[in-house]
Amino acid sequence: MTTDIGLNPQQLLGSVAILNQLLADEFALYVKTRNYHWNVVGPQFHDLHKFFEGLYEDLDEVVDEVAERTRSLGSFAPATLAEYSKTATIKEDTNYGLKAEQMVANLLKDNEQIIKFLRESVDKTQDDFGDAGTADFLTGLMEKHEKTAWMLRSMTV
Protein backbone atom coordinates (compact mmCIF):
# COMPACT_ATOMS: atom_id res chain seq x y z
CA MET A 1 0.00 0.00 0.00
CA THR A 2 1.26 3.48 -0.87
CA THR A 3 1.87 6.03 1.87
CA ASP A 4 -0.23 9.09 1.03
CA ILE A 5 0.63 11.73 3.66
CA GLY A 6 1.45 14.74 1.47
CA LEU A 7 5.08 13.82 0.79
CA ASN A 8 6.28 12.43 -2.53
CA PRO A 9 8.35 9.23 -2.69
CA GLN A 10 11.65 11.14 -2.90
CA GLN A 11 10.80 13.19 0.19
CA LEU A 12 9.82 10.05 2.09
CA LEU A 13 13.02 8.26 1.06
CA GLY A 14 15.11 11.25 2.14
CA SER A 15 13.58 11.32 5.60
CA VAL A 16 13.79 7.54 5.92
CA ALA A 17 17.50 7.56 5.03
CA ILE A 18 18.10 10.00 7.88
CA LEU A 19 16.03 7.89 10.25
CA ASN A 20 17.90 4.72 9.26
CA GLN A 21 21.24 6.38 9.99
CA LEU A 22 19.91 7.63 13.29
CA LEU A 23 18.52 4.20 14.19
CA ALA A 24 21.91 2.57 13.64
CA ASP A 25 23.66 5.21 15.76
CA GLU A 26 21.08 5.10 18.56
CA PHE A 27 21.33 1.31 18.67
CA ALA A 28 25.14 1.45 18.75
CA LEU A 29 24.98 3.97 21.61
CA TYR A 30 22.47 1.72 23.40
CA VAL A 31 24.86 -1.24 23.17
CA LYS A 32 27.85 0.85 24.29
CA THR A 33 25.89 2.17 27.26
CA ARG A 34 24.84 -1.37 28.20
CA ASN A 35 28.50 -2.41 27.97
CA TYR A 36 29.49 0.37 30.37
CA HIS A 37 26.62 -0.48 32.73
CA TRP A 38 27.83 -4.06 32.96
CA ASN A 39 31.54 -3.32 33.14
CA VAL A 40 31.97 -0.14 35.18
CA VAL A 41 34.24 -0.51 38.22
CA GLY A 42 35.66 1.75 40.88
CA PRO A 43 34.49 3.99 43.68
CA GLN A 44 31.61 5.38 41.59
CA PHE A 45 30.38 1.91 40.64
CA HIS A 46 26.95 2.08 42.26
CA ASP A 47 26.08 5.58 41.05
CA LEU A 48 27.35 5.01 37.50
CA HIS A 49 25.84 1.53 37.27
CA LYS A 50 22.40 3.05 38.02
CA PHE A 51 23.03 6.12 35.84
CA PHE A 52 24.07 4.01 32.84
CA GLU A 53 21.00 1.82 33.39
CA GLY A 54 18.76 4.88 33.13
CA LEU A 55 20.55 5.96 29.96
CA TYR A 56 20.20 2.62 28.20
CA GLU A 57 16.55 2.34 29.21
CA ASP A 58 15.94 5.77 27.66
CA LEU A 59 17.86 4.73 24.55
CA ASP A 60 15.79 1.56 24.27
CA GLU A 61 12.70 3.76 23.99
CA VAL A 62 14.41 6.06 21.48
CA VAL A 63 15.38 3.11 19.27
CA ASP A 64 11.76 1.96 19.25
CA GLU A 65 10.47 5.47 18.49
CA VAL A 66 12.89 5.95 15.58
CA ALA A 67 11.95 2.58 14.08
CA GLU A 68 8.25 3.39 14.45
CA ARG A 69 8.75 6.80 12.81
CA THR A 70 10.31 4.99 9.84
CA ARG A 71 7.31 2.67 9.70
CA SER A 72 4.91 5.64 9.83
CA LEU A 73 6.59 6.96 6.68
CA GLY A 74 5.82 3.69 4.90
CA SER A 75 9.22 2.00 5.05
CA PHE A 76 10.54 -0.98 6.91
CA ALA A 77 12.98 -0.24 9.71
CA PRO A 78 16.38 -1.94 9.51
CA ALA A 79 16.55 -4.45 12.33
CA THR A 80 19.72 -6.49 12.06
CA LEU A 81 23.10 -6.12 13.70
CA ALA A 82 24.70 -6.44 10.28
CA GLU A 83 22.79 -3.43 8.97
CA TYR A 84 23.54 -1.39 12.08
CA SER A 85 27.25 -2.28 11.96
CA LYS A 86 27.44 -1.19 8.34
CA THR A 87 25.62 2.08 8.91
CA ALA A 88 26.49 3.30 12.41
CA THR A 89 28.98 6.12 12.86
CA ILE A 90 29.02 5.54 16.64
CA LYS A 91 31.72 2.95 17.20
CA GLU A 92 31.63 0.04 19.60
CA ASP A 93 33.99 0.00 22.54
CA THR A 94 35.79 -3.30 23.05
CA ASN A 95 38.23 -1.93 25.64
CA TYR A 96 36.92 -3.62 28.78
CA GLY A 97 39.49 -2.04 31.08
CA LEU A 98 38.25 1.55 30.79
CA LYS A 99 38.14 3.77 33.82
CA ALA A 100 34.72 5.16 34.70
CA GLU A 101 35.80 8.69 33.74
CA GLN A 102 36.67 7.52 30.23
CA MET A 103 33.30 5.79 29.89
CA VAL A 104 31.54 9.05 30.78
CA ALA A 105 33.75 11.00 28.35
CA ASN A 106 33.05 8.51 25.56
CA LEU A 107 29.30 8.67 26.08
CA LEU A 108 29.47 12.46 26.12
CA LYS A 109 31.36 12.49 22.81
CA ASP A 110 28.84 10.09 21.25
CA ASN A 111 25.83 12.08 22.45
CA GLU A 112 27.36 15.27 21.08
CA GLN A 113 27.97 13.51 17.76
CA ILE A 114 24.31 12.49 17.59
CA ILE A 115 23.23 16.03 18.54
CA LYS A 116 25.20 17.46 15.60
CA PHE A 117 23.67 14.90 13.24
CA LEU A 118 20.18 15.67 14.54
CA ARG A 119 20.70 19.43 14.22
CA GLU A 120 21.68 19.03 10.54
CA SER A 121 18.89 16.53 9.95
CA VAL A 122 16.16 18.78 11.38
CA ASP A 123 16.98 21.40 8.76
CA LYS A 124 17.30 18.83 6.00
CA THR A 125 13.99 17.07 6.72
CA GLN A 126 12.19 20.40 6.99
CA ASP A 127 13.84 22.39 4.18
CA ASP A 128 14.83 19.71 1.66
CA PHE A 129 12.05 17.15 2.20
CA GLY A 130 9.19 19.31 3.51
CA ASP A 131 8.71 16.79 6.31
CA ALA A 132 7.72 18.88 9.32
CA GLY A 133 6.64 15.80 11.28
CA THR A 134 10.05 14.16 11.11
CA ALA A 135 11.77 17.51 11.74
CA ASP A 136 9.70 17.92 14.91
CA PHE A 137 10.40 14.33 15.96
CA LEU A 138 14.14 14.84 15.47
CA THR A 139 14.02 18.11 17.43
CA GLY A 140 12.54 16.26 20.39
CA LEU A 141 15.28 13.64 20.23
CA MET A 142 17.92 16.35 19.97
CA GLU A 143 16.61 17.91 23.17
CA LYS A 144 16.83 14.54 24.96
CA HIS A 145 20.43 14.07 23.83
CA GLU A 146 21.29 17.64 24.82
CA LYS A 147 20.03 16.95 28.34
CA THR A 148 22.00 13.71 28.51
CA ALA A 149 25.12 15.50 27.25
CA TRP A 150 24.67 18.17 29.91
CA MET A 151 24.49 15.50 32.64
CA LEU A 152 27.54 13.67 31.30
CA ARG A 153 29.45 16.94 30.90
CA SER A 154 28.62 17.84 34.49
CA MET A 155 30.23 14.60 35.64
CA THR A 156 33.53 15.43 33.94
CA VAL A 157 34.40 18.60 35.89
Structural domain includes residue 3: no
pLDDT in tens, 13-52: 999 999 999 999 999 999 999 999 999 999 999 999 999 9
Structural domain includes residue 114: yes
Structural domain includes residue 1: no
| pTM, two decimal places | 0.96
Cβ contacts of 44 within 8 Å, gap of 6 or more: 100
Q: Residues of the chain whose pLDDT is less than 50?
A: none
CA gap 36, 114 in Å, rounded: 18
Q: Is 81 exposed, middle or buried (0-12, 13-18, 19+ CB in 10 A)?
A: exposed
pLDDT for the residue 95: 87
Structural domain includes residue 62: yes
pLDDT for the residue 157: 73
Inter-CA distances, 39 with 44, 109, 145, Å:
12, 19, 23
Residue 130: left if φ>0, alpha if ψ -120 to 50, beta else—which one? left
**Domain count across the chain:** 1
Here the CATH number for the domain that contains residue 72 is 1.20.1260.10
Count CB-CB contacts under 10 A for residue 61: 11
pLDDT for the residue 123: 96
Structural domain includes residue 70: yes
Domain range holding 144?
9-88+96-154
pLDDT for the residue 61: 98
